[in-house]
Structure formats: C-alpha cells, structure tokens
Chains A and B, each alone.
Chain A
Amino acid sequence: MRIDARELHYRELNRQIREAVAGGETRFELANVNGQRYIGDGIQGEKVQIDIEGVPGNDLGAFMDGPTVRVRGNAQDAVANTMNAGRIVVEGRAGDVLGYGMRGGELFVRGKVGYRVGIHMKAYRGRMPVVVAGGTAGDFLGEYMAGGMLVVLGLERQDGEPLIGDWCGTGMHGGVIYVRGEVDPRLVASKFASMGPAEEKDREDMRPHVEAFCETFSLDVEEALAGAFVRMAAISHRPYGAKYAV
C-alpha cells in the first residue's frame, strides 16, 4: 500500500496505516513524509514493513511490537520510544532520546545520533533492546540505562570529532555500552559506569548485531568490527539506593 503523505496530518496518516494493518496489509510505502509524528506506533505483527521516504516526526515506532520500519532519510527525536519488538532502520542521522525506555527490538542508525541515546533502555523478560549507531553519539549516552546494548561504531568520523559526548552512563544501572575506539575517561560518569577494554566475550555478544547492521546498510562487517572497542557497564544496580533508603 502506497500513501502520499504530503499535507496529510499525522492522525489521518496513522489511521490509514492502522486500518490497513487490521485488514491484513503488510507492506507500506509512505512517500513525502515530513514531520508526521507517531508513525508505526503500537503496530503489531512481524510481517508488517513500513518504508518511509522523507523525515518522519518524533516518536517513530513508539510501543511498536514486531514490524520493520526503514527510513530513507533522517529521523528526528524519540525514535523507538518504549518499543517492544521489531526493527527500525534509519539511513541518515537521527536526533535525541532515541530508544527511550526501549525494552526490545533493534534500532539501526547509519549516521550520527544525538543526545541521551538509550535513555532508560531496559531488558525485559528475555528481550534485549539493541541500538547500533554507525556514526558518533552526543552527550548522556546510556543515561539511566537499565538494560540492553548500545553500540557506537564511529564510522566516517571527521578529524578530532569525539566518538561520544560528555556524561556517558549518568545514572546507569544495567546494560552495556560498546564504543569502537578510544574514549576519554573524563567523558564517562565514573560514579555510575566503569570503562574497560571489550573482551572476546563482548565481541561475541556484539557481533550478531553488528553483522545485521552491516547487512542492512551493505557495509563490510570486518571493517566495522576492526580495532579495539571499549565497554561501559554499570557499577551498581541501585546507584541511587543510598539516597532514598532510610
């Protein structure tokens, strides 16, 4: 099903998608999308595929449970908010608070990602959310992270461009962050997160996700995995415990 989204309000666009899904439609091509929010939100079903040409609005794929979304352009803020299952692929860059409270599925962004990526991501009953960024990330990567995996590959980086921003892992109490390359320890919130080299076991954990990422964007997986990674993990599962406990 092809929908021309030009001048179409998000409510109407999303109503058409929901009704078509309920009627058994599985393939969607959305053209001329610009800023329509909540696309794919709450849609269930692993067979559903949504192709988006343009820039979808905030909260793309929120509460989504199973579908695959591919954005042939950039995405904005709060992609994969509280997503349950499925895959979101962004061919360009994406904005802030990606994967907010995400509890399953995958988010692959080819380019840079913004601030607070993976904020309060969590693993949930055997589900493990994964966010892979091909470019670099902004400040507060993995803020309040409770579970799941964040991978920053830093491909095609400009000279002197930092891989991640300040205050990485602030409030972190679970999950794991992998960054390919060297990270200035001052960028990591040392009260909450420890940093060390990624070991062989880490590379094994990461590999299937990086492979899927590379396959999605036709990239060379060995190149994407070349060189050393660092690993950030929570120091405590209850970092604020002492603050509130009597």
Chain B
Amino acid sequence: MSDSGFDRDRRSVSGCGLSGMMSLTGERVTGEAIRDSIAILHERSNGLGGGFAAYGMYPHRKDQFALHIMYYGAEAQGQAEAVLGEAFDVLHDERIPTRPNPGVVDPPDLMRYFVLPPAGKLEESGMSAEDYVLARVMRVNSEIPDAFVFSSGKNMGAFKAVGYAEDIADFFRLEEYEAYIWIAHGRFPTNTPGWWAGAHPFTLLDWAVVHNGEISSYGINKRYLEMFGYQCTMRTDTEVMAYLLDLLIRRHGLPVEVACDVLAAPFWEQIERMPEEKQRLYTMLRQVYGSALVNGPFAIIFARDGEMVGVNDRIKLRPLVAARKDKWLYISSEEAGIRGMCPEPDLVWAPRAGQPVIGRLGSDVVVGEPGVGETAGMGQEVPSG
C-alpha cells in the first residue's frame, strides 16, 4: 500500500463508542438522533475516526448496489472507474455531498455510484450478483492503492472519516438522509492506525459492523477468510468481523444466533454442562468454525437489510446496553448513549456475555430482550430457525 501523505500511523490507547437504533416497523428518521447519541459518547473516542451506516436510505434506487468510494488522487479514481465501467452498468454517479467542518480535515475525494452487474457478464461469471460485486470490491481495495470502496450494499450506505463522529455527521450532512436503521461508531484506535478507510463501520455488501475492542485472533481469522476470497486491506482488525458475518450468514446460511455462537463461542467447560444434543451442536460448531472464533474483548453492533444485532465477547470485556421504546430497539456502549437518542426508554437492560440482541424488521419481538425471546447463547435454548 502506498503512503498517501495522510497519517496512518498515529496510535493511542482506550475504548470506542458504539450506538445503534432500529425501527422494527421500518419507520425512517434522519441521522440527527444517532448523531446526538454518539456525541454523548465523545469521551470514548479520540478524534481518530468515526462513522455511520444507514439502512433504507436510497429508496429510489433500492435495487441497485450503492458503491461509496474514497480516492486519494485522480489516478486512483481513473483506475477504479475503469474497473467499474468494465464490470458494471453504472446507472448514476455523483460526489457524496459534504459541508466543511473544522473537525474533519484533508478529506479524500468521495464519490458514490449506483451500479448493477450486466446480465450477460453475471451469467458468464456463474456467480450470484452479491459474489460478483464482492469480487470487484475486493479487486479495487487490494489492487488500486489509493481507492477504497467503503460501502457496497443496496439501499444502504456507510459514511466514515477521521475526526469525531458528531463532526463527521455534520460533514456528511446526515440530517438530510432518512433510514430505519442507523449504527454509529466513535473511534479510539489502539493497535492500528487512524485513517479514513480504517474508520468504522466496516462494510461489505449490505453488512456494516462497528466494533469496540481488539481481535487477538486476527491472524487466524484473516488466513481463514483468505481461503474464501476475502482480502483484508484496511489495516484494522474489525474488517475480519464484516467478512466473517458475510461468510457465515450469507454464504453458509447460518442463522444469526448461531453465527454469534461461532464468533463468541462458549468455553468447553460450559459446553460440557449442556444437554447432550446441544453439546453435540456446540462441539460441532467449535470444530468446524474454530478459525472463525473471535478472541479478545469486543462489543459489536452489526446490521444488514432488515436486521440489527448487538453482541459482545463471551466474558463481556466491553460494555453493551440495550433498550426498547415502542417499536424501536436501541443499543449502545452506555445507557447515556441510549438516552442521547431516546430520552425515556420503556426498558433498559444489559445483555449477557455472548448473547445477541437481535431486532428484525416486521417483528415486535427482540431476541435477547428480558422475559421475551431467549437466545442461543450458553445455557439457553437452541433456535429452531
């Protein structure tokens, strides 16, 4: 990777802030509430990165893949656009609207493209449309040094930068978009550099993930993912989380609950205590997906079309709080973050280690909510789906 004159090597130590909100009925709201939430968590970040992902934001082009790409220089843009022009029908392209903000400096060129794989080429490739797009995203990100696709899903988009998250919301004019899921991240990079493409969320197709923690199994996870065609190019551990979700849930078809049990697998001593049938399932998961276990402290919020999930590591080394209000689900690193987007929640709870909180579009039942749906985590029932 080339040195593009921006500082990829500033490092610092502490935790990050996460927030997410989802309307279970698909009601769309502007980015102001999520901005106010992540602003409350200001102390959890240090100005070296922040970002947002929004779902349901491009209703007029909802069937097209929306590519958000950052460029450091016209040459990178030319090369990337050549790849796009060859691989896709580009139905629309435009600069991503921004406004100057003193807290967001030296932005790269920010473009978005609405594309579709041409039917003939898609058929020739023998791939699904998603895998076709994935292969091109990987190609741009790994082969063109100063071009980074940072969003590639349908009817969703990611926005990220170096700076504080609330300034980044202003920079990207998030009050002008409406979405039914918003997730946000305020970054405090620890072992990896703070740079634009390395900010959260990490995305692939319609996955977006924001993460607080450190992935000590990064090397194992990265090598495992490479076997399935994923290239890790962002120099940040969180990237593997987005690709693992795509592999486990979209490609291997695991239910979200089971995928969470792979990422935050129960300990062997906990598996030993389970009833026999469950013991077999969890033993199998650990044997098959040992290389997809994510070790180290983490709390994540991830989303895809129709779903938002919060989960943390199996011994809860990073905080996560969830709340409900009417038909909305809220998740944040701190209760204060929840009250930043929803001042009077009906119910606030702390999810248990490794047990996901899952909101699903069209369902009033939130998995992991106390007294409602128990999840597939240790000591709980295995999902039937």
Contacts and interface: CB of A to CB of B under 8 A. Distances in A.
A91 B350 CA distance: 16
Interface residues of A, number: 25
A35 interface: yes
Interface stretch (B26-34, B45-53, B334-342): B334-342
A41 interface: no
Contact of B348 (A34, A74, A96, A115): A74
B183 interface: no
A10 B371 CA distance: 35
Interface in A46-70: 54-55, 57-58
B43 A10 contact: yes
B270 interface: yes
Contacts of A35: 40-41, 43, 334, 336-337, 339-340
B273 interface: yes
Interface in B339-362: 339-340, 348, 350, 352-353
Contacts of B321: 95
A166 B379 CA distance: 11
Interface string A95-133: 110000000000000001011000000000000000000
B38 to A, nearest CB: 11
A121 to B, nearest CB: 19
A158 interface: yes
B273 A74 contact: no
A79 to B, nearest CB: 12
A158 B72 CA distance: 56
Contacts of B315: 115, 139-140, 167
A2 interface: no
Interface string A23-34: 000000000001
B373 interface: no
A55 B339 contact: yes
B136 interface: no
B316 A76 contact: no
Nearest to A37: B43
A158 B370 CA distance: 9
Given A96-B316, A158-B371, A115 B335 contact: no
Interface residues of B, number: 21
A38 B75 CA distance: 49
A139 B314 CA distance: 10
A10 B43 CA distance: 10
Interface in B1-46: 40-41, 43
Dominant secondary structure at the A interface:
loop
A86 interface: no
A116 to B, nearest CB: 8
B316 A139 contact: yes
B334 A58 contact: yes
Interface in A149-203: 158, 165-167, 186
Given A34-B339, A58-B334, A138 B352 contact: yes
A34 B40 contact: yes
B270 A166 contact: yes
Contact of B319 (A10, A77, A158): A77
Given A138-B352, A158-B371, A166-B270, A34 B43 contact: no
B123 to A, nearest CB: 52
B176 to A, nearest CB: 24
Q: Which of B315, B350, B352 has the most CB of A within 10 A?
A: B350
Given A139-B316, A140-B315, A186-B273, A57 B339 contact: no
A138 B370 contact: no
Contacts of A57: 43, 334, 336
B256 to A, nearest CB: 23
A80 to B, nearest CB: 17
A138 B371 CA distance: 17
A180 to B, nearest CB: 21
A76 B353 contact: no
Contacts of B335: 55, 74, 76, 95
A95 B337 contact: no
Contacts of A167: 315
Contacts of B353: 115, 138-139
A68 B61 CA distance: 58
Contacts of A139: 315-316, 352-353
Contacts of B41: 35
B188 to A, nearest CB: 14
Nearest to A165: B352
A12 to B, nearest CB: 13
A138 B316 contact: yes
A34 B336 contact: yes
Interface in B137-186: none
Given A58-B334, A77-B334, 6 more contacts: A55-B335, A95-B335, A96-B319, A139-B352, A158-B371, A167-B315
Interface of B: 40-41, 43, 270, 273, 315-316, 319, 321, 334-337, 339-340, 348, 350, 352-353, 370-371
9 contacts: A37-B43, A76-B319, A95-B319, A138-B316, A139-B315, A158-B370, A165-B352, A167-B315, A186-B273
Interface of A: 10, 34-35, 37, 54-55, 57-58, 74, 76-77, 93, 95-96, 112, 114-115, 138-140, 158, 165-167, 186
